[in-house]
């Protein structure tokens, strides 16, 4: 299996997720209890590690199992889903984390992707108009 380079967008998501996690933990320490902050930290770590795991699985599928990719992706999805569920269950039952903090932490990848989309559109809001026959409105 050859080395696969990550796209600029994937690197931006990965680095941005760590930055958003750090900022969220700092805000958690400043304004919330230690249990909320712990929930943000653990949830953020779970979501970032899950994102890395997903990207690794997708690369592996298309390099090794391209002829039977769909069943392999589904099997890996369920394995990742079960492992993540067990980890979240153990965190909720064995540690004093706050549920809201954990949910915020688990949402960090989505928050980061949303911030990237907003930043990209603010940088170049008329990029759709550069294409021939493009419209600023989505139409069918």
Query: pLDDT tens across 4-13, in order?
Result: 677 788 888 8
What pLDDT band is residue 17 in, cutting at 50, 70 and 90? Answer: very high
The pair of structure tokens assigned to 35 is 């249990």
The chain-wide mean pLDDT, for the chain, equals: 84
Question: Residue 67 gets which letter from DSSP?
Answer: G
Closest CA to 38 of 105, 120, 117: 105
Quote the pLDDT of residue 137.
56
Q: What's the mean pLDDT in 65-86? A: 83
CA atoms within 13 A on the CB side of 118: 6
Q: What's the mean pLDDT in 37-47? A: 95
Quote the pLDDT of residue 63.
75
Quote the pLDDT of residue 76.
83
d(CA 48, CA 63): 23
Q: What's the mean pLDDT in 72-84? A: 88
d(CA 58, CA 22): 27
d(CA 26, CA 32): 10
């Amino acid at each position: 299996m050859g080395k696969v380079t990550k796209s600029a967008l994937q690197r931006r998501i990965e680095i941005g997720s760590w930055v958003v996690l750090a900022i969220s933990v700092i805000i958690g320490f400043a304004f919330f209890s230690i249990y909320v902050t712990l929930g943000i930290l653990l949830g953020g770590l779970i979501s970032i590690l899950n994102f890395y795991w997903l990207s690794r699985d997708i690369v592996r599928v298309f390099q090794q199992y391209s002829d039977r990719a769909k069943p392999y992706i589904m099997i890996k999805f369920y394995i990742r889903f079960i492992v993540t569920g067990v980890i979240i269950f153990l965190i909720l039952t064995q540690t004093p984390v706050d549920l809201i903090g954990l949910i915020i932490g688990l949402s960090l990848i989505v928050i980061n992707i949303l911030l990237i989309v907003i930043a990209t559109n603010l940088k170049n809001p008329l990029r759709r108009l550069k294409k021939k026959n493009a419209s600023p409105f989505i139409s069918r």
